[in-house]
Structure formats: structure tokens, C-alpha cells
Amino acid sequence: MASKFGLAGGIPERRVRPIWDAIDSRQFKNALKHCTPLLSKYPNSPYALALKALVLERMGKAEEVFSVCLNAKELLYTNDSVLIDDLTLSTLQFVFQRSDHFDMATSCYEYACAK
């Protein structure tokens, strides 16, 4: 697992901070608005998808959450150049657990440990 100073899931922290600030202040619509340009700039980032899934889960949109999480998990598994770090894994794990998909959360960590 790799992590670089100033990066959050391979994305500069200054781009991620507004999303976390909006989540912390329970402004989930605002956080979702911040996720859209982040995903357009980093379309192959599982961390950006995991953040979007977290926001959707907090908004109560369960059907969208699972598909977004599966996309993030698929990116982790298929793309070898994708950065796997603990922040991405913990965000995905949190969303999978809140959605009662414990096996998916476990499989992400198993894959990261095997890699």
C-alpha cells in the first residue's frame, strides 16, 4: 500500500478537502456537487468513486451506492497502475459495511494484501 504526502488516494488533498468538509457539516448535496468535477478530472480513481459512494450512502440512495462501489472495486482489480492505499480501502470498507455487504469489504482488503 502506497501513500504520498499531500495526496489522498492519489488525488491532491486540496481537491478532496471540500468534499470531506461538506460531509462533516452534513451538506451531502454540496459534497455530491464537489464529487462531479473530481470524477471528471480523475475518472479512473477508485478513491473518487468511493467518496461519491459515501456521499450517496449518507443521502440514502442505496441502489446507486452499490453500483458505484462495484465500479470502484472493479477499478482496483483491473488497473495495475491504480494506487491502492488505506484511505481508499477504508472508505470502500465503510460504505460496504453500511450497505451490509461485508464480503465485498473483506475481498477488497484480501486483494490489497495479496498485491
| In the chain, domain spans | 10-114
Rg (CA), the chain: 13
Would you give the DSSP letter of residue 7?
E
The span from the CA of 106 to the CA of 33, in Å, is: 30
Does 83 score more than 70 pLDDT?
A: no
State the pLDDT confidence band at 2, using cuts at 50, 70 and 90.
very low
Q: Cell 488516494, residue?
A: 9
pTM listed for this prediction: 0.86
Fold assignment, 10-114: 1.25.40
Cα 77–89–84 angle (5° rounding)? 55
